[in-house]
A = this chain, B = another copy of it.
Amino acid sequence: MTDRPIELKPVGVVKTILSDDEVRESWHEGIDAEIEIFEQYAPALERIEGFSHLMVTFYLHETSAEQRQTLRARPKRYLRYGLKLEDLPLVGVFSLDSPHRPNPLGLTIVRLLSRRANTLTVGGLDAFNGTPVLDIKPYTPERCVSSFTLPDWFRLLQRHVEMPGSDPGHGA
Report A3-52 residues with CB < 8 Å from chain B CB: 3-11, 13, 37-38, 41, 43-52
Q: Does A97 contact B (CB under 8 A)?
A: yes
> When the two chains form their complex, are residues B2 and A94 in contact, meaning their CB atoms are under 8 A apart?
no
Q: Does A64 contact B (CB under 8 A)?
A: no
Nearest B residue (CB) for A2: B13
- The answer, among B41, B46, B151, for a CB contact under 8 Å with A51, is B151
Q: Does A137 contact B (CB under 8 A)?
A: yes
> When the two chains form their complex, are residues A46 and B6 in contact, meaning their CB atoms are under 8 A apart?
no
> When the two chains form their complex, are residues A47 and B92 in contact, meaning their CB atoms are under 8 A apart?
yes
**A44: which B residues are within 8 A, CB to CB?**
71-72, 92-95, 101-102
Q: Which 4 A-B pairs have the closest CB atoms?
A: A50-B151, A46-B92, A94-B136, A43-B71
